[in-house]
A and B are shown apart, each in its own frame.
Chain A
């Protein structure tokens, strides 16, 4: 589904990584592992088209990235920031505002779906009234994940999605994503995590980023 071949990224004349191949098939959960500073986030950002790669090509469904209109592409390949970034307003306004974007205007905000997703985290409807600035880091990650799922992407690029969550919420997030991938055809997820146990739990494939060469297993 999402494929990248020979990707390389060079910053200040040094290759962060080079010759990276990624093959993400529908139904897969791929984890990117590597030491801190190996450029895991950068790779996800490149795949989301938020950063540019210096060499190599990225394609989804065999159509190269260059030929996509970026908003359309990113509506399908959604990247979730490591630091969850919510907009001003309540949780519900955050979940609703995403449907004001032209790319998602054809879909509509469905309160019951939002509540159902939040219930997976033991949060009820009153959580929707909370102001985004009052949320803890973990709660903000829950909202960001719920918001990303609500636009029905094909690929979720998850950059340390549970870094600020407690153990229970982490487990719930992993379960939610696994269920979401399995629920319908044509969905896949990609993870980065500093937690080896989490990688073990969520990933059916891993890609190791290790100073300028990558191996897939």
Chain B
């Protein structure tokens, strides 16, 4: 059962007609979604077609430099996107996010490429790019959820945090509950998806491999490896950003520095 049925551009366009169902619904119920739906559908198609061309080009080069450049660009975008989804910012938060995302994603992906999947050469984009992409997407989620929750919780419970400090608590004692809470929230999507995977949802990568003709048992083992990578990177990334934020928002004189935080309208 090797190989797969190829889809041409005409067939792809045919699938685009499916979106007409949404447009009809939107018009009939006056949801006012038509314009945004068309824009979203167009963006999705253009972005994917472009990345297809870029990947094809990078795959053909067999040179680590363009692969690494692409990995760096993906990581940078993930780092920025993680912060942009949050409502409160402080100076240096983008750097903190970049360091957390890249630290977690490079460490985990590197370990998997060299130690587990044992790809040769190590930069083979057929493995590096999709693995890194999946890890980045989930790390981004973990980071933005944990970051948002941590800062929000400090702002909302500011009085209680300061009460701990005012009674002689250290900054760690004052922040501890909030750090734990932020980590828990950051890891919720990860834990949820591991709980129901294979029962409620069949993950995209696994289905993709099966469609491409891989043995289901092979595809499943790949998926398990991926899930472990994702879980570990999301946890590392979330911890990285929370720890960084903790050091920015509590100074070494054990003061809560919410004066460094400003709210942005997302």
Binding site for B on A (CB under 8 A): 48-52, 70-72, 74-76, 78-81, 83-87, 98, 101-104, 144, 147-148, 151
Contact = CB atoms under 8 A, between A and B. Distances in A.
Interface string B224-237: 00000000000000
A157 B167 CA distance: 11
Nearest to B174: A101
9 contacts: A48-B166, A50-B165, A50-B256, A70-B253, A70-B254, A74-B166, A81-B159, A98-B167, A101-B167
B251 to A, nearest CB: 9
A171 B156 CA distance: 32
Given A51-B255, A101-B173, A102-B173, A83 B159 contact: yes
B168 interface: yes
A79 B170 contact: no
Contacts of A71: 168-170, 254
Contact of A81 (B163, B253, B254): B163
Given A71-B254, A83-B159, A101-B173, A50 B166 contact: yes
Is the contact region of chain A dominated by helix, strand, or loop, or is it mixed? mixed
Interface string B157-197: 00110111111111001000000000000000000000000
Contacts of A75: 167-168
Contacts, number: 72
A78 B160 contact: no
Contacts of B169: 71, 74, 101-103
B39 to A, nearest CB: 42
A52 B251 CA distance: 11
B253 A49 contact: yes
Of residues A70, A78, A81, A83, which shows the largest number of chain B Cβ atoms within 10 Å of its Cβ?
A70
Nearest to A94: B163
Interface in B236-266: 253-256
Interface string B80-98: 0000000000000000000
Contact of B166 (A80, A86, A87, A102): A80
Contacts of A48: 166
Contact of A79 (B160, B166, B173, B254): B166
A85 B163 contact: yes
B168 A78 contact: yes
Interface in B135-164: 159-160, 162-164
A104 B167 CA distance: 9
Contacts of B165: 50, 70, 74
Contacts of A86: 160, 163
A45 to B, nearest CB: 9
Nearest to B158: A85
A87 B163 contact: yes
A74 B164 CA distance: 10
Given A50-B162, A85-B160, A151 B167 contact: yes
Contacts of B166: 48, 50, 74, 78-81
What 6 A-B pairs come out closest when comparing CB atoms? A75-B168, A85-B159, A103-B168, A85-B163, A70-B254, A79-B166
Of residues B159, B168, B256, which shows the largest number of chain A Cβ atoms within 10 Å of its Cβ?
B168
Nearest to B253: A70
A98 B168 CA distance: 9
A74 B167 contact: yes
A104 B173 CA distance: 12
